[in-house]
Amino acid sequence: MNLSAVVKKAGWQVDLVLAGEEDIFKKAKSFQPEVIAFPVFTGEHQWVIKQAQRFKKENPEIFVLLGGPHPTYYPEIIKARGIDAIIRGEGEGAVCDFLQAFQNGKSATKIKNLWLKKGKIIYKNPLRPLIANLDSLQIPDREVYYQYDFLKRASVKQFLTGRGCPYHCSFCSNHLLRRLYQGKGKYVRRYSPRRVIEEIKEVRRKYSFNTISFTDDVFVADRNWLKKFLPIYKKEVGVPFMCNVTANSLDEELVRLLKKGGCYGIAMGIESGSQEMRFKVLNKFITDEEILEGGRLTKKYGLELKTYNILSLPGETFEEAVKTVKLNAKIKPSAAAASLLQPYPDYEITKYAIKKGFLPKNFNVNDVGESIYLPSPIKGPETRQLENLQAFFPLLVAHPKLLPLIKPLLRLPLRPVFRLMTRITYGFYTSRVHKLPLGDKIRYLRHMDPLKM
């Protein structure tokens, strides 16, 4: 949406197609683009390469440009046949510079953030500084997505109020991105409160929504910003919202501030019920006491609570995973989600897993699957139980007394049954915590991909 906004301002026509909703080649034929751009996520990169090669086969003159997390962290994808260039990191400036050069027939070999392939030569340019003033960017172009009715009609709309995260968790890409941009500006940045309000009001003028989800990694990271933003939000928007927090950031003042400002629910990462695992493996220095206190304050002020958790961590036993269920059950979240760890090359947690023998030494990007649910790449004697526990996780957190009854089932090779269970339980609890009406619940379940569970 950000890229579409700046590219349209530069005078280009832009369209977007969601693979799975439409035939991307059929739509491309009707649009006749000069440039095809893919956002690429690790695990889906092989699919993107195949589509790029098909585009090139049908029209050798078309220019294929990749961006997103995979080219940012694993830029060697440019060597693949069918790929002309990649943009690493923040792409707004680079994509505009490239398109201007492309349009005018000028050289693009020195554009920062751009890697360009000409024959066997690859021009590798450094990253430009981070965008210091986010308010200088255009308001994101939602129209490219809202041509799809299920997104346009969604009762909850998502907004970002900034970029970057202040933490260094070993399982998250932020520590890699921070390293890439070292010395290139302030990593954690925020739009001004007024700029965020303007975006929300513009979206409300064009589209309807009942609730808002602020999807920043840590919405509450800057309390001074919140104290400026929330009163304006309450007065000029007044729509119930949900946001992401960390347990160690929650205290009486903050939770009261959120509640008064219109917050109806928060989501926080617990990740593991083992404090030792959080400290030693996840580089997440949040104590059990802080998690329990965060849960207590959430309940005291009547907020919905959603938790995020990770199973099949390097060295994790089944009993340690059960501790994760039990710690969640103590704070009684409205919904508890659990993924299986998906290690990516160069992440600190991946290096740890390789060092300890839980992953092969030659583990690489082509070993990464599309799903954060099945199967677990971390192999151990209890991997099957951990995979199956993931399917029942929300149910067991809500009803921990069921654990002795379900525990024997988790040793069975019933993956199709457990996939169905995942779809039912995650769909039910997630739709409930986000206050989705019946129509949205049906659309949400329809667009959940069972092959990625």
Q: What is the structure's pLDDT at 417? A: 73
Instruction: Give CATH 3.40.50.280 domain extents, the chain.
Output: 2-124
Phi-psi bin for 43: left (phi > 0), alpha (psi -120 to 50), beta? left
Q: What is the structure's pLDDT at 441? A: 54
Q: What is the structure's pLDDT at 425? A: 73
Local structure of 314: helix, strand or coil = coil
pLDDT, one tens digit for every residue, the chain (453 residues): 999 999 999 999 999 999 989 999 999 999 999 999 999 999 999 999 999 999 999 999 999 999 999 999 999 999 999 999 999 999 999 999 999 999 999 999 999 999 999 999 999 999 999 999 999 999 999 999 999 999 999 999 999 999 999 999 999 999 999 999 999 999 999 999 999 999 999 999 999 899 999 999 999 999 999 999 999 999 999 999 999 999 999 999 999 999 999 999 999 999 999 999 999 999 999 999 999 999 999 999 999 999 999 999 999 999 999 999 999 999 999 999 999 999 999 999 999 999 999 999 999 999 998 877 778 899 889 999 999 999 899 999 999 999 999 999 888 877 677 777 777 776 676 666 766 666 665 555 555 543 343
Q: What is the structure's pLDDT at 318? A: 96
Q: Are strands 162-163 and 189-190 parallel, antiparallel or unpaired?
A: antiparallel
Distance, CA of 280 to CA of 361 (rounded, Å): 21
Q: Is 115 exposed, middle or buried (0-12, 13-18, 19+ CB in 10 A)?
A: buried
Q: Which of 13, 57, 20, 51 is nearest to 35 (CA)?
A: 13
- Give residue 111's Cα distance to chain centre: 28
Q: At what angle do helices 383-398 and 318-331 cross, to 10 degrees?
A: 10
Q: Dig out the tokens for 150 from the structure.
A: 């299920």
Torsion from C-alpha of 392, 395, 400, 404, nearest 10 degrees: -40
Q: What values do phi and psi take at 311, rounded to 5?
A: -110, 165
Helical (H) or strand (E) element with 52: helix 45-58
Q: What is the structure's pLDDT at 56? A: 96
Distance, CA of 449 to CA of 21 (rounded, Å): 12
Q: How many CB atoms lie within 10 A of CB 31?
A: 13
Q: What is the structure's pLDDT at 371? A: 77
Give the CATH number of domain 2-124; options: 3.55.40.20, 3.40.47.10, 2.40.50.220, 3.40.50.280.
3.40.50.280
Q: Which of 200, 188, 202, 217 is nearest to 159 (CA)?
A: 200
Evaluate whether 389 touches 410 at the Cβ level (below 8 Å): yes
Q: Which of 292, 279, 372, 374 is nearest to 326 (CA)?
A: 292
Question: What does the radius of gyration of the chain's CA atoms come to, in whole angstroms?
Answer: 23
- CB half-sphere exposure, 6, CA atoms < 13 A: 17
Fold classification of 134-452 is TIM Barrel (3.20.20)
For residue 29, give the amino acid letter: K
In the numeric block, the tokens 């059990």 are attached to 288
Phi-psi bin for 218: left (phi > 0), alpha (psi -120 to 50), beta? beta
Evaluate whether 225 touches 196 at the Cβ level (below 8 Å): no
Distance, CA of 198 to CA of 73 (rounded, Å): 33
Distance, CA of 52 to CA of 63 (rounded, Å): 9
Instruction: Give CATH 3.20.20.70 domain extents, the chain.
Output: 134-452
Q: What's the pTM? A: 0.91
